[in-house]
A and B are shown apart, each in its own frame.
Chain A
Amino acid sequence: MPSQTPNQLDDTALLAAYAKGMPEAARILTERLMPKLYAQAYHRLQNAADAEDIAQEAMLRLWKIAPNWQSGRAKLSTWLYQVVANLCKDRGRKPPMTALEQAPEPIDPRLAVDARLQDERRASALYKALDQLPSRQAQALRMRHLDELSNPEIAAIMALSIEAVESLLARGRRQLKTCLEAEISALGYRDEKI
């Protein structure tokens, strides 16, 4: 079997390498996982400082569990997803740490100001609409369309069958569209077609 470079290793193998004292494994895992954890937290809390805290805490828990991680136990990304979800739930009960004005610049500085403003308005409307949905529907929609998880991954996290996830998503989209109807008219979407 040809030898693999560290970048080719899967998350579990990298975690085992970290536990054995390989700093390079920590670097690769950080680059691979941390942005996803941060995005997941941000889409729930809409606060960059809180999202950073949660991403850092989740990664810290990952380093702590590394020596005892059992590869057959669960998928690493699924475990981390649940860690972030729980941390967001806890943080959601506390007041936000920083004002919105202190949030860092958006990811793409080339976006024109008006386009950026439109994105922010749509994002804000979307988050509000998601908050109005039944929590299971909102959870499934966030996972599918913001966190970009596959239906089988969502099924594993929510302990549902894939068919149940599809049904949940279909109902969620219908309801979300109803909640967003006014904003769809006001903010438009035609210019965003892919």
Chain B
Amino acid sequence: MKKFEDQNHEDLEAFFLSAQRALPAPSDQLRDRVLQNAQALMARQGAEKSDSNGSDIGFLGGLSDFWSGLGGLKGWASLVVIAGLSFQFGGVAPEVEAQIYDMISGQNERVFEGSDPFEDLYLAYLEG
């Protein structure tokens, strides 16, 4: 409590001092509530900041968000593995699969059943 500049008012000072002493203490819950608010706002403002950083840089930001949305490097790796497995186990149409299989295995001249006009002649030749 600051002293009164005018010492004729020491009676007033006693009243102000009493008011200071009669001040009830704030509850412990008040401090907790204030700190909880601080933490909640800190988390929210942090989240908003990272959101706005993403959109502020246009296409790159969008790409970055897209990348993050896919789960980053792990997400992309999973996607590639899934695509490979689908390819291997029939995730594409059978005819396309066969063509691709031929391309890979080098059997470019594979003959499909029922599609060779010289098939009978060839069989006769084989049977003598």
Contacts and interface: CB of A to CB of B under 8 A. Distances in A.
A30 B1 contact: no
A26 B35 contact: yes
Interface centre among B10, B24, B30 (most CB of A within 10 A): B24
Contacts of B35: 26-27, 30
B11 A189 contact: yes
A91 interface: no
A52 B10 CA distance: 31
Contacts of B20: 146
Tell me what chain A mostly uses at the interface: helix, strand, loop, or mixed.
helix
B30 A105 contact: no
Given A106-B23, A107-B23, A126 B34 contact: no
Contacts of B21: 106-108, 111, 116, 119
Nearest to A116: B22
A8 B37 CA distance: 24
Interface stretch (B41-49, B80-88, B92-100, B111-119): B41-49
B16 interface: yes
Contact of A126 (B18, B38, B49): B18
Chain A contact-residue range equals: 35 or more
Interface string A100-139: 0001111110010000101110110111000000000000
Interface string A141-162: 0001110100000000000000
B9 interface: yes
A26 B22 contact: no
B15 A26 contact: no
A146 B16 contact: yes
Q: Would you list the 8 A-B pairs with minimal beta carbon distance, nearest first?
A: A189-B14, A122-B18, A192-B14, A26-B38, A123-B19, A119-B18, A123-B22, A145-B16
Interface of A: 18-19, 21, 23, 26-27, 30-31, 34-35, 38-39, 42-43, 48, 51-52, 55-56, 59-60, 63-64, 66-67, 103-108, 111, 116, 118-120, 122-123, 125-127, 144-146, 148, 170, 173, 176-177, 180, 183-184, 189, 192-194
7 contacts: A39-B23, A48-B24, A63-B41, A103-B24, A107-B23, A173-B9, A194-B17
